[in-house]
């Protein structure tokens, strides 16, 4: 039998220095969508044929916006709450649960609380809470995980979800290949990329300008940089006007963002 | 693929082709030309060569690397009447520059605990790192801005932050006359109102070390540079003030359509003779004057630290020179035998006037101007003297230039102690962020000795002295 659950990998610029407790390694950090309990290999194979897949062209972004102690009554886990930037994951979780219920699987949850667990008891909550800053994150591949003990989670089955941005090599500055379905989404993903470098970039978040060109997108990002530099200092000088928005796979747009630091 | 033709030692011609209005001129040694990383910056040299009104060559220094529109380590002169001025040809950090001051004590005569105390005192007095502003939480008022922008470095000296003699040891006497606050946005004022006297982040620093080598004894003597002497080297610019001004004008020029038909939007430029061009020059000069004041106030604090910790008389620490390496200046140069007024863009390049240059003060008119070339924090920096080479509009290199990205450097030093490594090299480093130190490790930079060698072979500047760093404060 395998103790299994469905979840997405979570990628974030983790700040673990003040995290004291039985830490879950970064590579195992995830958001659980549905816990299934102990299942046989045959049952799992049957199940995988019938569940819906997350048809997401890019990993959805979220903000890890506050700390959680779970369960509330007798806390055993320190976790971060995930606030998604859109409804896609919430909708997918509902569809997944409905599908599992039809198979008599998945525990009943009145309200799903999206979160990522960071460490288990014994832990030091106060120190962590005092140093907490909001973090950007995005979801990576969707997995059927097996909990193998010792805070390790092994994917038994995976469905790839491409990242919304990827860091690329640049000799002088920092650079990202940013993807999005339109200019607005490129802007959001570019902002998240910058927040991965400096989480304080979320200080002025959310900011959703209406954009009609790459130039306007760059200007909007630079306005954010100037605002944050004025408020508390910012490690970025500016985003370059360099480059073009190009069409790529699945009707997505792609832009190489170069950031002067 | 670039079909370079050797003209002189370490001097190559990049032939004119396509939209280029002038050829390129590449100052580099043969080893440097084999670097695959040179391809993109050389494409930028070509792009710059296509700008209206460019005269002579689009020039690349041996420390060239990829920049916004213009390469860093690039020089381009535009005709004052038909040419353009480009914020990307100056850079975001307007009048980023370097100043060198000399302390009348031998570095090796300082005890280890004095050196540590000195490093601590400077770190305490000079704010460094992202978001760290003026010492003492001082905020600039509108009237402060008006005065410092009009007077340049003189403003700080009149506030008690420096010596009257300092002014004669600064490029352009520490002031660009065209500066006008009416061309500067409110946002730029607000962004920098608490940043005067601070280093900032990135590759900026304050460095203390010893004069390790003398190459030109006679000039060194005239500049009072002595072997073993302690020096202060400061590298920073106009902080958020210059960044915002650059951003404001890039946005405005792009909105006005000045980027149309350019190979790279970041090259966007306005005609020098236009209202927009004039306005940018006024704002850029305002930022340049902010930067002169910034370096002046930092030197003031470092001098005070030497007085506090080492008992050195404040007035006995002369400024040798202050150079700009991100600027566009109106200068007169001979073009085919006729003197013409040109707007010389130096982005990551230093003016290098030779002996006899009229703009220089008497001491430097005799010798040529000092050219300050900081290397990395582990190896060396150089003091050179300008040769006034007309091929490069009297310009030289500005530093070592990166060979490894910040990300790659950070990754390379992950899990290792960069600070301990520097200590083993005999260099004590302090910074607000470990990340900055890891990004700025010596192996992220070219060997500055090779850069300087190419500059000397090309007769742009000559080596006067080598500096060895021992105490470094990074942003």
Q: Which of B288, B289, B299, B365 is nearest to B163 (CA)?
A: B299
Q: How far apart are CA A32 and CA A116, in angstroms?
A: 8
What was the pLDDT predicted at B1? 62
Query: If pLDDT is split at 50, 70 and 90, which confidence band does B201 have?
Result: confident
What was the pLDDT predicted at B144? 97
Within this chain, domains A2-159 and A165-260 share the same CATH topology: no
What was the pLDDT predicted at A155? 96
What was the pLDDT predicted at B11? 97
Q: Closest approach of chain A CAs to the CA of B91, in angstroms?
A: 10
β-strand pairing of B270-271 with A61-70: unpaired
Contacts of A233 in chain B (CB under 8 A): 129-132, 201
Query: Could you tell me which CATH number the domain at A2-159 has?
Result: 3.90.1140.10
Query: Could you tell me which CATH number the domain at A165-260 has?
Result: 3.55.10.10
Q: Where are the domains of chain A?
A: 2-159, 165-260
For residue B132, pLDDT over 70 is answered with no
For the stretch B240-277, pLDDT in tens is: 999 999 999 999 999 999 998 888 899 999 999 999 99
For residue B174, pLDDT over 90 is answered with yes
Interface of A with B (CB under 8 A): 167, 169-174, 198, 215, 219, 222, 226, 229-230, 232-235, 237-238, 240-242, 260-261
Q: How far apart are CA B266 and CA A211, in angstroms?
A: 19
What was the pLDDT predicted at B238? 97
Q: Closest approach of chain A CAs to the CA of B243, in angstroms?
A: 7
Write out the H or E segment, with its range, that includes residue B469: strand B461-474
Q: What is the mean pLDDT of chain B?
A: 94
What was the pLDDT predicted at B454? 96
For residue B289, pLDDT over 70 is answered with yes
Residues in contact with A194: Cβ distance below 8 Å, sequence separation at least 6, in sequence order:
A201, A221, A224, A225, A236, A259
Q: How far apart are CA B151 and CA B41, in angstroms?
A: 36
Q: Which of A196, A158, A193 is nearest to A178 (CA)?
A: A193
Mean pLDDT of B306-323: 98
Decide: B248 and B188 in contact? Cβ < 8 Å. yes
Q: Identify the closest residue of chain B to A221 by CA–CA distance.
A: B247
Decide: B361 and B105 in contact? Cβ < 8 Å. no
What was the pLDDT predicted at A242? 84
Q: How far apart are CA B146 and CA B128, in angstroms?
A: 25
Number of residues written out for chain A: 261
Instruction: Please work out, in degrees rounded to the nearest 5, the angle formed at the alpha carbon of residue B167 by the alpha carbons of B161 and B171.
Output: 125
Are A171 and B404 within 8 A, CB to CB? yes
pTM of the model: 0.91
What was the pLDDT predicted at B137? 65
């Amino acid at each position: 039998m395998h103790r299994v659950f469905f979840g997405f990998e979570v990628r974030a610029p983790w700040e673990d220095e003040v995290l004291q407790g039985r830490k879950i390694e970064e590579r195992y950090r995830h958001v659980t969508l549905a816990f299934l309990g102990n299942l046989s290999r045959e049952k799992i194979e049957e199940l995988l044929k019938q569940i819906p897949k997350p048809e997401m062209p890019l990993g959805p972004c979220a903000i890890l916006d506050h700390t959680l102690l779970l369960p509330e009554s007798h806390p055993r886990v320190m976790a971060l709450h995930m606030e998604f930037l859109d409804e896609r994951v919430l909708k997918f979780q509902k569809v997944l649960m409905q599908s599992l219920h039809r198979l008599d699987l998945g525990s009943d949850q009145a309200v799903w609380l999206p979160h990522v667990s960071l460490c288990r008891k014994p832990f030091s909550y106060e120190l962590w809470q005092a140093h907490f800053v909001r973090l950007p994150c995005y979801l990576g591949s969707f997995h059927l995980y097996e909990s193998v003990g010792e805070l390790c989670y092994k994917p038994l089955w995976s469905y790839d979800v491409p990242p919304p941005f990827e860091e690329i090599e640049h000799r002088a500055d920092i650079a990202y290949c940013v993807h999005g379905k339109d200019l607005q989404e490129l802007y959001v993903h570019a902002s998240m990329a910058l927040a991965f470098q400096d989480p304080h970039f979320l200080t002025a978040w959310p900011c959703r300008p209406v954009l009609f060109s790459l130039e306007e997108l760059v200007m909007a990002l630079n306005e954010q940089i100037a605002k944050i530099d004025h408020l508390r200092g910012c490690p970025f000088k500016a985003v370059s006007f360099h480059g073009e928005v190009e069409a790529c796979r699945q009707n997505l747009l792609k832009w190489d963002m170069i950031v002067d630091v | 693929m670039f079909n370079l033709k050797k003209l002189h030692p370490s001097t190559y011609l990049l032939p004119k082709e396509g939209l280029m209005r002038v050829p390129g001129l590449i100052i580099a040694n043969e080893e440097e030309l084999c670097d695959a990383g040179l391809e993109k910056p050389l494409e930028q040299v070509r792009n710059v060569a296509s700008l209206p009104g460019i005269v002579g060559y689009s020039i690349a220094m041996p420390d060239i690397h990829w920049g916004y529109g213009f390469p860093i380590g690039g020089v381009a002169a535009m005709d004052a009447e038909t040419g353009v001025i480009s914020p990307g040809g100056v850079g975001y950090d307007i009048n980023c520059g370097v100043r060198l001051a000399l302390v009348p004590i031998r570095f090796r005569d300082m005890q280890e605990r004095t050196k540590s105390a000195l490093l601590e005192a400077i770190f305490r007095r000079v704010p460094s790192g992202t978001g760290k502003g003026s010492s003492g939480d001082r905020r600039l008022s509108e009237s402060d801005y008006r005065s410092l922008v009009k007077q340049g470095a003189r403003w700080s000296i009149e506030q008690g932050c420096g010596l009257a003699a300092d002014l004669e040891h600064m490029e352009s006497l520490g002031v660009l006359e065209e500066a006008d606050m009416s061309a500067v946005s409110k946002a730029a004022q607000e962004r920098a109102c608490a940043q005067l006297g601070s280093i900032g982040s990135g590759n900026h620093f304050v460095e203390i070390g010893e004069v390790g080598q003398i190459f030109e004894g006679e000039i060194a003597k005239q500049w009072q540079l002595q072997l073993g002497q302690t020096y202060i080297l400061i590298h920073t610019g106009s902080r958020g003030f210059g960044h915002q001004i650059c951003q404001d004008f890039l946005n405005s020029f792009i909105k006005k359509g000045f980027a149309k038909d350019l190979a790279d939007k970041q090259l966007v430029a306005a005609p020098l003779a236009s209202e927009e061009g004039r306005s940018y020059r006024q704002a850029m000069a305002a930022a340049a004057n902010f930067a002169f004041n910034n370096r002046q106030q930092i030197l003031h604090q470092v001098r005070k630290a030497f007085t506090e910790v080492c008992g050195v008389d404040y007035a006995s620490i002369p400024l040798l020179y202050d150079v700009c390496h991100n600027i566009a200046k109106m200068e007169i140069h001979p073009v085919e035998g006729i003197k013409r007024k040109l707007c010389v863009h130096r982005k990551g390049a230093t003016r290098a006037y030779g002996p006899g240059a009229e703009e220089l003060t008497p001491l430097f008119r005799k010798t040529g101007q000092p050219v300050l070339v900081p290397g990395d924090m582990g190896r060396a920096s150089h003091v050179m003297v300008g040769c006034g080479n007309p091929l490069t509009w009297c310009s030289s290199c500005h530093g070592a230039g990166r060979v490894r990205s910040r990300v790659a450097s950070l990754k390379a030093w992950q899990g290792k102690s960069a600070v301990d490594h520097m200590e083993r090299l005999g260099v004590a480093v302090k910074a607000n962020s470990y990340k900055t130190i890891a990004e700025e490790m010596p192996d992220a930079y070219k060997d500055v000795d090779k850069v300087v060698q190419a500059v000397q072979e090309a007769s742009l500047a000559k080596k006067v002295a080598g500096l060895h760093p021992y105490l470094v404060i990074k942003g």
